[in-house]
Amino acid sequence: MSIDDAAAISEGSRLGGARSVGLVETQFLTFAEPPERMELECGSKLGPITLAYETYGRLTPERDNAVLILHALSGDAHAAGWHSADDKKPGWWDLYIGPGKAIDTTRYFVVCSNIIGGCKGSTGPSSIDPATGKPYGLSFPMVTVGDMVRAQRRLADRLGIERWLSMTGGSMGGFQVLEWAVRYPDRVASAIPVATSARLGAQAIAFDEVGRQAILTDPNWGGGDYYGGPAPTAGFALARMIAHITYLSDEQMHAKFGRRLQDRDRLAYDFRTEFQVESYLKYQGDAFVRRFDANSYLYLSKATDYFDLSERYGSLVQAFEKVEAEFLVVSISSDWLFPTAESKCIVQAAKANGVPTTFVELQSPYGHDAFFLPNEQLSAAIAGFLENVERRVRKAAAGGGRSP
């Protein structure tokens, strides 16, 4: 879920390069304007709702080449390209989206939708509540992964995309992929959940809760009503540090930091930062606090905790009963937050329903965050899968049928 390490920019991906989508702009869709409002799964109503999104490539006249990118907890709509020539790095999945890349923007119309509850342009707790003229704060209703996807469906309607050729996302982005395929089976031709699960487990909920407690007990949090004053940066940075450890593998941390000291030759014997791994984590925490909203973090971490397809449908096999999409399920060998076993549960449930499913375990030492990093195996798997799906969908359309 960290995008801070995803800065690897190949030469052709630079602004103006042959493999870059170039300058892009975030767009906004607003709907559910009062009195309409959208009813959320928690029972509350929310409106108006704005979704931030970006698009790359062109939609075919047949509208059959749209690929939806769904981001993880801390992501945003800016998945590829550059917002300006001054940007230090491109969008968070630029490694995989662009001309000639795994998700080839010369073939596909790529849409990346930000999620509600966040703080990156879509409506969330830091947005102004039109009823009060002030930020929602904790009066913002709880949103679920289902609500996020229902909002994205409105975006699909507006863009005229009746059926996505494919959609992909890692971590909480994978939750959205699964939710789409299960909730709107006729609108998803194929799905690529990456490093994810059909429900969050007890250990992950535990880590989330500790992170939330760090924010909730920060005196600056003030019941969520901190906008305009000092933010709960200490607790929020802690929450991010905890989460960040879970995104990396022990093996990688050992290789990257070991027990090396930071800016010193010998132990200091005090409580200042001594080891490189401490310094790195603090940097990650401090950087994140500057670019994200603590309340959004609370809401989105709750949304991940609530995610459980088995519970909603009785079992995961039953959840997949109406699925029409074919699947490419991707896990990461060193991911201990969403271990391969979780992906295999998805594969089994899909196969039990006759859903065509391919499974790939990426061999990577980089832990959960590996999908943000260059990975040939991931590139090849996505590119090949999309090509096959595209061929089958066009063939079926030519034959008048609807497949896969």
Contact residues: its own copies, CB under 8 A: 42-44, 138, 141-142, 199-203, 205-207, 209-210, 212-214, 216-217, 219, 234-235, 237-238, 241-242, 245, 248, 250, 253-254, 256-259, 267, 269-271, 273-275, 277-278, 281-282, 298, 302, 305-306, 308, 311, 336, 339
Q: Considering beta carbons, is residue 55 or 301 the nearer one to its own copies?
A: 301
Report, in Å, the least distance between residue 95 CB and its own copies.
26
User: Strand 166-170 and strand 27-31: pairing?
Assistant: unpaired
- Contact between 330 and 195 (Cβ < 8 Å): yes
Q: Considering beta carbons, is residue 23 or 341 the nearer one to its own copies?
A: 341
Residue type present at position 188: V
CA–CA dist 310, 181 (Å, integer)? 14
Q: E strands, 93-226, where?
A: 97-98, 103-104, 109-113, 128-129, 134-135, 166-170, 190-194
Report, in Å, the least distance between residue 71 CB and its own copies.
23
Residue type present at position 400: G
Catalytic residue among 71, 78, 244, 368: 368
Active-site annotation holds for 335 = yes
Strand partners, 54: 112
Report, in Å, the least distance between residue 216 CB and its own copies.
7
Residues 6+ apart with CB under 8 A from 1: 72, 73, 74, 75, 171, 172, 243, 247, 368, 369
Q: Which of 141, 154, 214, 149 is nearest to 28 (CA)?
A: 154
Q: Considering beta carbons, is residue 12 or 201 the nearer one to its own copies?
A: 201
- Contact between 324 and 189 (Cβ < 8 Å): yes
- Contact between 393 and 364 (Cβ < 8 Å): no
Report, in Å, the least distance between residue 250 CB and its own copies.
4
Active-site annotation holds for 368 = yes
CA–CA dist 401, 222 (Å, integer)? 57
Catalytic residue among 171, 331, 334, 364: 171
Report, in Å, the least distance between residue 207 CB and its own copies.
6
Q: Considering beta carbons, is residue 158 or 264 the nearer one to its own copies?
A: 264
Active-site annotation holds for 293 = no
Q: Considering beta carbons, is residue 250 or 387 the nearer one to its own copies?
A: 250
How many Cα neighbours within 13 Å face the side chain of 279? Answer: 14
Q: Considering beta carbons, is residue 261 or 396 the nearer one to its own copies?
A: 261
Report, in Å, the least distance between residue 385 CB and its own copies.
30
Catalytic residue among 335, 343, 364, 369: 335
- Contact between 203 and 314 (Cβ < 8 Å): no
Active site positions, annotated: 171, 335, 368
